Every structure is written in structure tokens, then in C-alpha cells.
Structure 1
Amino acid sequence: MGKKSRKNVFTPEQLLSSLMDNIPDHIYFKDAQSRFIRTNRAQARFLGLAKPEDAIGKTDHDFFAHADEALADEQNILRSGKPLVGKIERVRYGKGPIVSVSTTKAPITDSTGKAIGIVGITRDINDRMLEEERLKSAQEELENTVRTIDMELNIARNIQESMLPERLDQIDEVKVAALYIPCSTIGGDLYDVIQIDEDRIALLILDVMGHGIPAALIAAMAKVSFTKHIARGLKPRTVLREVNDELIAHLKNERFLTVFLGIVDKARKEFVFARASHPPALLLRKRRRTVVRLSGKGIFIGFAPRYKYEEERVPLESGDIILLYTDGLVECRNKGGVFYGLKRLERLLLKHRDAPVDELVKRIREAHVEFMGDVPPSDDIAVLIATLE
């Protein structure tokens, strides 16, 4: 007896009423003419009614503008016997705001299976839809930003490529070759070879800190300035000083350049160079089978006005090789996190000391690709090589 009474504590009506009165979704029942026969409190509030009973006998036409569409849906459900699931609608009840709702409706059938009414559940999804719209707007804004960045990178890449010489100046007894490996972002690496006269040729390599259009534009300004002063036949240290004083007003202590500038003088058989915080050049003494690092002293271009750069000179012998490069070559790391390093480059230079300069740049590229594997370069790489025959 006790067990039976416990089973019958709640009647079906009590269970249904408890569900309808407490669930936040809008629940309603309609007859075959789409008239409300019962609603829960949430639906009554949504319709602007004081209590659920006030909806009985009314239709959607009494409350909102899209009633014709709702009526057509319900009549189709009654005819087909198939439910309508998760229809997204934009509705306005009374004088309230337009909101987004998700509606599911199903037929109520009698004992013979005939559809005699409609049961519906409508969920307010306005906050969710607003959030989705915000996310969509943010996604579109992000995509527009990415397109803008891509466009700017293409512009910067075109600027950068236009600055690289299509052909390298050559003079008798001095052979020159170059290598450039771009990374996915645009850097400010630049090299150039400028013939001064029949005996002297200038080797220039520089790297603007940062990436993108600003770095490319600064590199372009630097090239114009260097070309002008090198053509005047000035000493490397004087060229660096003049370029520094010209660019410092534009750089405004926000961007800096590292530079290595050297002049090969075949008549004097010497290499005169000045350096502005750039990685040291390498001088391969072919006859002695040794590699010398050409460091020199000097701060970044754009760091201090009227700075006096130092200049050094080294004698050259036939077969000696001068190698200039940007830090992207020696500071790159492979998948294992190992740096390429300057010693690796020195060993490569010694190993291929008998190779012509154009063959040597190929060996440098091959060694770099082998070392990096499938890891893309994180910085541009520029290499400039000259040899005195």
C-alpha cells in the first residue's frame, strides 16, 4: 500500500504544470484552428498578458505581425503530421523590440492518429544571435585586417625586390655573387654592389630592424643615400657618417640599421671597410686556409647624430674571398632549436674555398636548406660574396 501511494504522489497534470510554470521557454498548445488552449507563464509574459488564461481563444493575429506565416506553418503540420523543428524567426510581440527566437512545433493527435492540434516550444535566442552577429562582425573585421596586411606586405615585398640589383657590377679581377632568401614577412635586408672606378668596387649590405612597409621604405631611403655618397668616392667611414646624419631625422630613434660597407681596391690589393653594428664579415685567406672575422667598431645607423665611425683595412691576396651576410643566416634555428651559427658558416667557406663565387652561394643555400629542413626562415637572409682573382 505504501509503495503504491508513493508512485501516485504526482499526477500527470501536476508534472506538466510544474514543467510549464518553471521552464523559461515559451510552451503553448493550440487547437486545429490555431487558437491558444493553454500557455505557460513565460509565453503569457512574452505576449504581454497578465496570466496564461488570458491567451485562451486568441490566435497569433492578436499579438504579432508574422501571424500569417505562423498560421501557414501550423496548418502544414496538421496536414502532413510532421513537426517543424528549430525554425529561427525574427518576431515582435506587441510594441516590444524585435527579437530572435527558435520555434519547434509538433502535431497533437487523437487515438486514431489524426492531428487535432499543435504543441509548440519557442526559445528566446536573441542574446545568442547577437553574440553570433558580434562574432561574425569581428571575424569580418579580422579578415579585412588580414587582407590589408597582405596587401601591405605585397607592397613592401615589391619595394624590397625593386631595390635588389638586377645585375651586380663587376670589374676585372674581382668577381661578385649574391644570395637572397626572403621569409614570409617582409624585412629590411638589402645588398648592393657599386662600381666606383676601374679599380674600386663597393660592397654594401644592411639590415633595417623590424618588418613590413616601414622597414622596406627605410631600406629604400638608405639605398639612395648610400649610392649617392659611395659614388662620390668617399671613404667607408665617411659614407656611414653622412648616411647616419641624413637618416637620423627620419628614423626618430624608432628604427635602426646595421650596415657593413667595404671597398675592394684591386690596384692596392686591399679591402677597406667600416661597420655599423652589423655581423662581422668573413675573409677567407685561401692560401693560408684560414678565415678571419672582420669586425670593426660602430653603432647602429640612426642611433646618434654626428657619430664618427671607425675604418679598417686589410691586405688581399689572389684567391681571397670576402663574405658579407645578414643575421638571418647565422641566427636561424632548426626544428631542434639549434642555431646555424657563425662557425658553421666558416667551416662551409673553408670546405668550398676553391669554388667560384656563384657556385659558393649555391653551396650556402643548399647547406641552409638542409640545416633548416621544413622549418621556414623567420628572417630574410642576404649574402654577398666577392673574390680577388
Structure 2
Amino acid sequence: MNHLIDQLNFTMIQIGSYHSDLLTNAFIQHINRAAENLLGYSSEMLINQPLARIFTPNPDTVGALLDTGIMPADFCIKGELITQDQRRLPVICSTSPLSGQQGHNTNTVLLMLPINPDNILLSTLQTDDAEPKDCIAIESALAESEQRFRQMAEMTGEWLWEQDPNGYYLYSSNAVQQILGYPPADIIGRHYTEFLTPQDKANQQIFSASNRAFYALINHYQHKNGQSVLTESTGLPIINAQGKLLKWRGVDRDITARMHFENELIESEQRIRLIIESSMNAIILMDSYGIITDWNPRAEIMFDWTQQQAIGQRLDDLIIPPRFRNAHRQGLQVFLQTGVSHILNRQTEQIAMRKDGTEFPVELSVSPLKVGNAYIFSGFIHDISGRKAAEQQIHQSQIKLAIAQNEIRIAQHIQTSLSPSAPLKSATFEVIGFCLPADKVGGDYFDYFLRNENQLDMVIADVSGHAIGPALFMVETRSALRAQSNVLATPSEILGVLNTFLFNDLDRSDYFISLFYLQVDTHNQNIKFANAGHPPALLFKRLDNTLTELDADGLILGVRQQLVFEEKTLALTQGDTILFYTDGLTEAENSQQEFFGLARVKTVFLQNIQQPPAVIIEALLTALRQFCQREIFTDDITLMVFKYFAVE
């Protein structure tokens, strides 16, 4: 209604009060533009100010009104308007209530007409000193005001109507067709409840049964096409001097679209609030002064400040460590003055502070929103303590991995350097070895050397474990074996001395060694061997085409300090071939977790028995790769092949 009242040329003031204190305890709600021009005040300057600031009624009239014990719906009263520069303007004030609210609270419009200082009071109370010319002037002004109001309402699309005391339409403006789809002719003579929804028919009966005005009442109408239409309705009872209701006069404004958008806005705000409340990130709003204006539940958990404690506090005092607060304040001021910031509209890592003063890393994203001449800053904060701890663990793991990989390279170098680099050949025999390194270094070791012109020593060993430790034990084992190269000792004696030499070191480190030792006597054409818990070597006898496992009793090195190893001797004939291997060959697995196994080793060995030692080794490795469908294995795979050529 205010925008219509503003268009009128008459001084109009909207007030709110209690009926019993209409003029002594009224407060100003709005003044129109004519009143602003007359008084020198703007409407905003007078909102919620007492009416007495700008209007002084005639004391005799107030007394006469209060003496009656009732407050009429409309009356005229003489008084003075007080301008901003303290001038006093004589006026006649006509009142009309705008709405009937719960209790006695009412909204009233005052029409102020300047008069000649000689004019006297005229009221609907019909006092003896009333002058008809004042009443006529007011009625004429009201009629002119009503005509202008109707014209402006028609232009704005508002539906003007009048009803008889029983609620039947006497008049309807053309806007009803646009709002409800009915021409005015179809409205006049019908009861207003015919056009309401069933629920509103019952709810709105109280207004037609009373003589109280209503203001901004929400009506639910049914359009001619069946659609629901919402209007904001204001109605005034027209009452004569005797207090009889003559008719109703009112206006309806179509607010269907507005309510739709308002409802959507409310739903949107509810959705946003739900997102804020349920967010896994702390969401904090701050104004341009650095004061917290919103604080979601996750922020309560993260910083240990409740929403009630946080809102209204300075953000930097609450969650920023003291050493960073000055930089925060300076950055805020620079942005407000220049619009430049290195932290806004991007994701950064910062240090935050909890209520107890402990600090923790966060990921921060801040966005500014300009509202009028001020800014609102929304911050999304994610606790990255867990991520940082994980990153630190990953970093430490990477360091450990780098160290381990370096150890592996060292161990691989040691392993490679200890093994013979070339096959050993003579007129009577050939021996060759090969080690296929794993992704982790094991302790595989093989060696062969001539003790004298008639004796060849061969050894294959496997130290438990991986990396640098087993490689060092390989060095120690090789050194101990080579130290006995000038001593005439049998395989069993060599294993006994080696076990005694290595026992203390193996026992302290929880390592052990499996080892197979074999000596070839080319002069006497025989072999001697002993075994310390290693997979038996395979001997192919060319004379009878048999394959024999060379095994002898003996525990692995490092189990007990004093060990006795069984030693065996077998004859050697032309074409005999011996295969030495570590368990990495037989225990290699395919994708179905099946072992390559000894049976496959024997099959491939026999299929290539006529080939040179190097070809036999390559055939075994090819068969292994095909079976496992890979090139790299989890354990070293070491092979050594001896072939005897001597002629009987």
C-alpha cells in the first residue's frame, strides 16, 4: 500500500498504536512524499518514532474522545504538525484504520489537511462547535483522493472492490478479469466466498461477520480455469456516524508469482542451510570488519568453539595463531582498499588454531561477496591433519624404500661380483652357472674352482632373507670356502669347518644357510658330495640313462654349533651331467599359485640333456618364464650345470 499512498498529493501518515492510546502512544510506520515535503523529514528518519514528535492534537478534542469510552473507526481532529525546523502548521486530521490485528494493535492512516488558524475542530462525534465547511473540505479531499487511488490501482493491475455488509460484491474493477479470469459483471452480486478455496471459505467468514478492517490478508482464490491464485487483500469497513456498517471497500493484489518465488527462495535458503549444516568442511562467514557472522556444526567440532561463542567474535582472535594475525588484518585492509588479494578465490594450505591453542594444518578456500558497499567473506576449511600425517608416512616410506633399493643394488653388486664371471672348461669337463636376480636380493651363491689339476670343487648356497644382510653372509661364506682352497679336505669336513666358523654370526642375526658341496676327482673319475639342507643336485647317468637325486644327511648351517655331515661317493663316467639349483626355481608360482616344481625341472633337464650346459640353463629359464608368464620373480633363481667328457 505504501507505494500507492506515496503517489497522493495529500499529507498522509501511517501509524501503529493501541486503540486506547491512539494519539498519546502512537508510533510512526510510514509517511508519504507529500508529508516528507511538508515536514522536511524523510520517511526513514521517522520510522518507529512517536507520533508526538510531529503532531500535537487539540487537548480538548482528545479529552472529548476519551470521555466517550470508545474509539470510532473514523474521526476528524484539529491539531498542529511540527516541521523539522520547528514550525507549527494548523491541520485537520482525519483517521482511518487499515487493519485489525490480534489483540488491540491496529494500523491507522492519518490524512492531514492544513487549515486556516481560525478554523475549529470538526469530528464524527458531532460536537457543538463543528463547522460544516471543514467537513465538506475533508470529504471533498477524501473523494478526490479515492478517485486518484482507484485510477492508480487500475494502472497497477490491482483489483478494487466493494461489498455490501453481507459480503456480496457491489463493485469490481476490471483487474479482476486478469487476476481471476472473470469479467466484473460476473463478480457483482455474488458472495466473495464463492471464489475462495474451501479452506479459505471457512477461515474468512470472521471478517465479514465483524466490522474490523483487515490489512495484507492472504487469500486463496480459485481462478476460472481452476488454478490457485493468491492475493494480498486489504479491506476497510465504511461506517456512518451512528456506527452502522454501510459497506466494505478493499483492494486485492495478485501475489501468486511473488509467493512462488518467495517459496522457492525459502526452499533454496533451506537447502543451502542444510548443505552448510551437514557439510564435512567447516563453513565460516565473516563481515568486512573481520567479525564472524555464521559458524556451522563442523566448525564447532573442528575448533571446539560453539556457534553461540563464535558469532560476533573476531575471526583472527578465534582461529588464527597469534604470529599470523597481523598479516591477516593487513591483507583484509589491502583487499578492502584495492580489491587485490593473494589468498581469495583460491585454495591454500594454512595453519589454524583450536580453542585450547593447539595448531593444525587446514586447507582454506575464501570467496568474497559484495553486498551494497560492504563485503561478506565465506570460508571453507578442511582439516588436513590426517592427510599431512599420511603424506609424512609416505615420505618416510619413500626414504626407507630408497635406502632399501640402494641396499639391494649394493647386494646385487656383491652377489654378481662373488660368482664366477665365465664358465670353466677343460678337456674332460665343462661347468657354468647363472643367477637370475629377483626384485629383492636373496642370498643365492654359486662357485666353482680347481683345487688342483685333478680336483674341481663346486658349491651352491642360499642364505635366508633378503637385501644387504644375506649378501654379507655370502661374502663371509665365500671367504671361508676360498680360505680352504689349498687344504686337502673333503666336502663333509669343509661343511663342518664352515658351520663352526659361521655359527655365532648366524645365530645372532637369525640367518641360516643351505649349501650343497661337491668335489670331482678327474683322476679317479668319481664325485664326493655333502649336503647342508639344500635341494639335492640331479645326476644324469649316461651309461644307463637314469636320473638320480644326490642327497646326503645334514642340517642347514647355523642350527647347532657342532654338526656332522654325511658324505657320499659315486663313480663318474663319460656323458654324466649334474644340475645344481636353488629353491627359487622349484617354488616359483604362476597366476594360479601353482609351483613350477621339481617334476618340471627334471622333464626339461632330460629333454635337453644332450645340449651344452649353457643351453640346458637357458631351456630351464625359458620353460620357467612361460609357466609363470613373467620375467621378474620374488626370489633369486640360481642354476649350475656340470658335464663330464672324459673317455674311458
- Report TM bin, short chain: 0.7 to 0.9
1:358 Cα deviation from its structure 2 partner: 2.4
1:261 Cα deviation from its structure 2 partner: 0.4
1:189 Cα deviation from its structure 2 partner: 0.5
The answer as to 2:591 corresponding to 1:330 is no
2:377 is aligned to 120
The answer as to 2:271 corresponding to 1:25 is no
Aligned counterparts, 1:257-296, within 5 A: 257-296=513-552
1:102 Cα deviation from its structure 2 partner: 2.7
Q: Please point out which of 610, 632, 637 is paired with 1:354.
A: 610
Aligned equivalents of 1:297, 1:348: Cα separation in 2: 27
Alpha-carbon spacing, 1:331–1:36, altered in 2? closer, same or farther (3 Å): closer
Alpha-carbon spacing, 1:118–1:272, altered in 2? closer, same or farther (3 Å): same
Alpha-carbon spacing, 1:163–1:105, altered in 2? closer, same or farther (3 Å): same
Alpha-carbon spacing, 1:245–1:133, altered in 2? closer, same or farther (3 Å): same
Q: How many residues are paired up?
A: 364
1:343 Cα deviation from its structure 2 partner: 1.7
Is the contact between residue 153 and residue 186 of structure 1 (CA under 8 Å) also seen in structure 2?
yes
2:331 is aligned to 69
Aligned counterparts, 1:72-91, within 5 A: 72-75=334-337, 84=345, 86=347, 89-90=350-351
Aligned counterparts, 1:172-211, within 5 A: 172-211=427-466
TM-score (norm 1): 0.81
Unaligned runs of 5+ in 1: 56-62, 110-114
CA displacement, residues 287-321 of structure 1 (integer Å, 9 cap, x when unaligned): 32211111111000111112111100111110000
Alpha-carbon spacing, 1:36–1:227, altered in 2? closer, same or farther (3 Å): closer
Q: Please point out which of 151, 163, 166 is paired with 2:406.
A: 151
Is the contact between residue 462 and residue 514 of structure 2 (CA under 8 Å) also seen in structure 1?
yes
1:106 is aligned to 368
CA displacement, residues 163-212 of structure 1 (integer Å, 9 cap, x when unaligned): 11123444430111112111110011000001011111011100011111
Alpha-carbon spacing, 1:383–1:231, altered in 2? closer, same or farther (3 Å): farther
Aligned equivalents of 1:64, 1:131: Cα separation in 2: 25
1:143 Cα deviation from its structure 2 partner: 1.1
The answer as to 2:293 corresponding to 1:39 is yes
1:338 Cα deviation from its structure 2 partner: 2.1
Aligned-pair identity (%): 21
Alpha-carbon spacing, 1:74–1:136, altered in 2? closer, same or farther (3 Å): farther
Aligned equivalents of 1:93, 1:273: Cα separation in 2: 74
Aligned counterparts, 1:208-357, within 5 A: 208-252=463-507, 254-357=510-613
Alpha-carbon spacing, 1:70–1:354, altered in 2? closer, same or farther (3 Å): same
Amino acid at match of 1:121: S
Alpha-carbon spacing, 1:208–1:103, altered in 2? closer, same or farther (3 Å): closer
CA displacement, residues 60-79 of structure 1 (integer Å, 9 cap, x when unaligned): xxx941222123334555x9
Aligned equivalents of 1:138, 1:248: Cα separation in 2: 38
Amino acid at match of 1:213: I
Amino acid at match of 2:619: R
1:124 Cα deviation from its structure 2 partner: 4.7
1:163 is aligned to 418
Unaligned runs of 5+ in 2: 1-196, 201-217, 221-258, 315-323
Is the contact between residue 456 and residue 521 of structure 2 (CA under 8 Å) also seen in structure 1?
yes
- Which range moved further: 329-338 or 316-325? 329-338
Aligned equivalents of 1:340, 1:388: Cα separation in 2: 28
Is the contact between residue 171 and residue 199 of structure 1 (CA under 8 Å) also seen in structure 2?
no
SS of residue paired to 1:231: coil
Alpha-carbon spacing, 1:278–1:106, altered in 2? closer, same or farther (3 Å): same
SS of residue paired to 1:260: strand
1:385 Cα deviation from its structure 2 partner: 1.1
Alpha-carbon spacing, 1:161–1:54, altered in 2? closer, same or farther (3 Å): closer
Aligned equivalents of 2:552, 2:479: Cα separation in 1: 24
1:140 is aligned to 395
Amino acid at match of 1:276: A
- Which range moved further: 247-256 or 204-213? 247-256
- Which range moved further: 363-372 or 93-102? 93-102
1:135 Cα deviation from its structure 2 partner: 2.4
TM-score (norm 2): 0.50
Aligned equivalents of 1:388, 1:54: Cα separation in 2: 94
Say which one has the larger Rg: 2
Alpha-carbon spacing, 1:302–1:117, altered in 2? closer, same or farther (3 Å): same
- Which range moved further: 164-173 or 359-368? 164-173
Is the contact between residue 181 and residue 381 of structure 1 (CA under 8 Å) also seen in structure 2?
yes
Is the contact between residue 283 and residue 295 of structure 2 (CA under 8 Å) also seen in structure 1?
no
Alpha-carbon spacing, 1:5–1:287, altered in 2? closer, same or farther (3 Å): farther
Alpha-carbon spacing, 1:298–1:143, altered in 2? closer, same or farther (3 Å): same
1:86 Cα deviation from its structure 2 partner: 5.0
